[in-house]
Homo-oligomer: A and B are copies of this chain.
Amino acid sequence: MGDAQGCGTQEGARVSRVRSRQTQRERSDATVDDLVRAARALFAEDGYAATSLEAICDRAGVSKGALYHHFSSKRDVFRVVYEREQEHLSEVVRGAAAKEAERPWEAVFEGCRAFLEASLDPQVQRITQLDAPGALGWEGMRELSGNCLELTRLGVARAVESGAIPARPVDPLTFLLYGALGESALAIARAKDQPAALAETVAELRTLFDALARG
């Protein structure tokens, strides 16, 4: 102790541990939030395997006892971090799709574009694309509600129902699209000329959407 004082509440920074005169709920929520912020910062920077729970606890300014009081395992901590990440991505996608509410297929396109752009961040990629599959497994990734895959499925379903694209089963196109975007984001982020790579990919996506709309 002694170096765990001060410093406000900025993104993932070490946090004050003075929590007297609070309701239990407030204490718990604040502790969980500190832990998740710290975990997100370290998972994003160093990756899941290279991040120790002790490092997370140090950064959050709490003990391992506190962590294990609120989480059941390292995997559980990551699950919550992943959920938050998905919720954030979902909001971005929803916002973009909302601008084309009357044209369902265009809404999907704008959602895809937004997902792609938001997924260019190496930290987001580390969590959602690189570490999540191994740490959570496919089932673990999908058993949380309100994620981007569900949004995509919903968008495709609406496009089919409205007749914006020819009738077809929804799932195959959903997964094809979702996988295409994830891998593309990884590739674009590693490209020499990143803006050009993004523009080319969006253009290709545009071609693809137009082609699918024509049947």
Contact = CB atoms under 8 A, between A and B. Distances in A.
Given A176-B180, A184-B175, A49 B201 contact: no
Interface stretch (A27-35, A90-98, A206-214): A206-214
A173 B176 CA distance: 13
A102 interface: no
Nearest to A132: B134
A171 B186 contact: no
Contacts of A191: 171
Q: How many copies does the complex hold?
A: 2
Q: How large is the interface on A (under 10, 10 to 19, 20 to 34, 35 or more residues)?
A: 35 or more
Interface stretch (A3-11, A53-61, A135-143): A135-143
Nearest to A122: B138
A168 B212 contact: no
A134 B133 CA distance: 8
The 10 nearest A-B residue pairs measured at CB? A179-B183, A211-B211, A134-B134, A172-B204, A176-B180, A180-B180, A175-B187, A172-B201, A179-B179, A130-B133
Contacts of A48: 134
Contacts of A175: 180, 183-184, 186-187, 201
Contacts of A12: none
A138 B182 CA distance: 12
A205 interface: yes
A164 interface: no
Interface in A67-123: none
19 contacts: A49-B49, A130-B137, A133-B133, A134-B135, A171-B197, A171-B200, A172-B197, A173-B204, A175-B187, A175-B201, A176-B183, A176-B184, A179-B179, A179-B182, A180-B180, A207-B212, A208-B212, A211-B215, A214-B214
